[in-house]
Structure 1
Amino acid sequence: MVEIAPEEIEYEGLSPNAGLAVNMAAGALAGITEHAVMYPVDSIKTRMQVFATSPAAVYTGVGNAFTRISATEGMRALWRGVSSVIMGAGPAHAVHFGTYEMVKEFAGGNVEGVQNQWIATSLAGASATIASDAFMNPFDVIKQRMQVHKSEFRSAFTCARTVYANEGLSAFYVSYPTTLTMTIPFTAVQFTVYEQLKTFLNPNGEYSPSTHMVAGGLAGAVGGAVTTPLDVAKTILQTRGTSHDPEIRHCRGLADAFRIIWQRDGLKGFSRGLAPRVLTFMPSNALCWLSYEFFKAAIRDS
């Protein structure tokens, strides 16, 4: 008797709006995967963006930072704070991708043949960012406080408790407006470039992991490079409580951060950490989109 294999579900044949629960679960798994893999490079980026008072904390490049941190503090220092990211990234990405797919469907972005689909995609990306950043911002503050040179914190819970006791709840959200100013255009650019490249590289909609990786990587690189100046300002705001510089400690918002950057480092100051930021976003975005598309199909098929 010949057994007939069950019919396989085409990967790209799934409904673009596969269901809120599926999209959120896939987003959570993709987010944790993305952040965990590229975390050491993100740590280097944070250190390069901080205006350090000690020469030991000034780095000339990614290679220089990696070598010196590894030699003086050990490899474990590059992973300090990763627990905060893991705790926050899953739920935040679940909210992110769930909101993205829901708004995209509502705005008509999944309807074939409709003109200006990029508008629906950009709107969905921006909406997803507002929702997920509201959840993720405190975890990001904790992460960066633990990443800086000679951080006193070894536990995310200890860091959160100390920051709250010394600076209050506002410390976790002082960078939120700046974060939105940065991530809304980043996400809009990222999702738009990703969707356009995915369609261009794979017009037939066939299963193509390489398409998701290439489109996701390029989309992340473009978005990351464009928004680097805002990321520098965000880092100053999120790490101000660890600074011994009175001006930085009293930095109140984006305008203050931009003024400090301009006065101390000129135009080049706005590109601090550009190389590790792009280096982080290219592979992490490629991995994130590959994971998201895979998990979405796998969960739906299970």
Structure 2
Amino acid sequence: MQMQTEESSLQKVIQDIDVEYESLESSSLLTNAMAGALAGITEHTVMYPIDSIKTRMQVVKPNPQAIYSGILNAISKISSTEGVATLWRGPAHALYFGMYEHCKVLFGAEGEKQNFLAIAAAGSCATIAADGFMNPFDVIKQRMQLHGNKFRSVAKCGLSVLKNEGISAFYVSLPTTLMMTIPFQAIHFSTYEFLRKNLNPSNTYDPKTHVISGGLAGAVAAAITNPLDVTKTLLQTKGSIKSDASLKNINGMFQGVKFIYEKNGWKGFTLGIRPRVLSHIPSTAICWTTVSNFSFLMFV
């Protein structure tokens, strides 16, 4: 009798948790922003070395010392010649998730039937807000990830870019970044929501759903948008690459695309695709799982 009572109590607790979890989609903007910030810290700390390798492998005309045959070769070569800490060099996402959850509600994506257009629009709005703010930091990050860079602090790198190339250097890649990240996030969020709803139709607390959905969504979005990511890397690092003087004349996405094609053909747009996809699988899985768990803990 006592055992039955305990089982009944346990079932009630589980049911209460499930009900509370289903209410997370209406959690506050502050909670979503805090969850996004924590997710960003976790994701970037774990996956930053792979992102550094991706940047180097996307350089169209790299220094001969910065040519790598694969991810493991890059890790070994960088670690042995430049030190392991180099893989974490550069500045380390509250805007993304706060804006995304707010826009999902605003665009009516919270009904029983999935509205993929509204989800994609919410992801795009989150991207525009975040990229507009973060683009200068991304330029600094990629400059500090390059082989042979002399910068040891974010401030010194930023001041050097400003002094030698002007403020436009921080935003020359913004149109390309938006052209990449808007479809990336639209594909990412739509794929994630589709997989999450189908893998967990009851919307109960199930962390593995976020791991699988997040990882697959990140991989699909990363692979599809890699050509634009190569172009963005070219625009953001051209001021630090001295091996080709013609890079100085590239001031936009179309010129960048033309340059990449002339140097490497269509193959040039696949540069860095392996580390990009491999980094997005665990990073988006970590990101969504962290957001989900943090929001749940804050709510309960």
**TM bucket by the smaller chain?**
over 0.9
Deviations 1:19-51 (A, max 9, x none): 111111111111111111100000000000113
> Whole-Å Cα distance in 1 between the matches of residues 17 and 71 of structure 2?
43
Q: Secondary structure at the match of 1:13?
A: helix
User: Which residue of the partner structure matches residue 69 of structure 2?
Assistant: 60
> Whole-Å Cα distance in 2 between the matches of residues 239 and 182 of structure 1?
17
User: Which residue of the partner structure matches residue 4 of structure 2?
Assistant: none
> Whole-Å Cα distance in 2 between the matches of residues 53 and 41 of structure 1?
18
Is residue 260 from structure 1 mapped to residue 269 from structure 2 by the alignment? Answer: no
> Whole-Å Cα distance in 2 between the matches of residues 101 and 120 of structure 1?
11
Alpha-carbon RMSD across the aligned residues, in angstroms, is: 1.8
**Could you tell me the TM-score, scaled by structure 2's length?**
0.92
Is residue 12 from structure 1 mapped to residue 11 from structure 2 by the alignment? Answer: no
Is residue 274 from structure 1 mapped to residue 269 from structure 2 by the alignment? Answer: no
1:10-159 alignment, distance < 5 Å:
10=18, 12-81=21-90, 84-85=91-92, 93-113=93-113, 117-159=115-157
Q: CA deviation at 1:275?
A: 0.1
Runs of 4+ that moved beyond 6 A: none
Q: CA deviation at 1:249?
A: 2.4
1:217-256 alignment, distance < 5 Å:
217-244=215-242, 245-256=244-255
> Whole-Å Cα distance in 2 between the matches of residues 239 and 250 of structure 1?
13
Q: CA deviation at 1:53?
A: 4.5
Unaligned runs of 5+ in 1: 86-92
> Whole-Å Cα distance in 2 between the matches of residues 9 and 208 of structure 1?
11
Q: CA deviation at 1:74?
A: 1.4
Q: CA deviation at 1:265?
A: 0.4
> Whole-Å Cα distance in 2 between the matches of residues 57 and 210 of structure 1?
38
- Higher percent of residues as helix: 2
**Could you tell me the TM-score, scaled by structure 1's length?**
0.92
Q: CA deviation at 1:284?
A: 0.2
Letter in 1 for 2:39: A
Letter in 1 for 2:172: V
User: Which residue of the partner structure matches residue 88 of structure 1?
Assistant: none
Q: CA deviation at 1:250?
A: 2.4
> Whole-Å Cα distance in 2 between the matches of residues 102 and 178 of structure 1?
25
User: Which residue of the partner structure matches residue 294 of structure 1?
Assistant: 293
> Whole-Å Cα distance in 1 between the matches of residues 248 and 30 of structure 2?
42
> Whole-Å Cα distance in 2 between the matches of residues 271 and 127 of structure 1?
27
Task: Find the structure with the greater CA-based Rg.
Answer: 2
> Whole-Å Cα distance in 1 between the matches of residues 267 and 240 of structure 2?
23
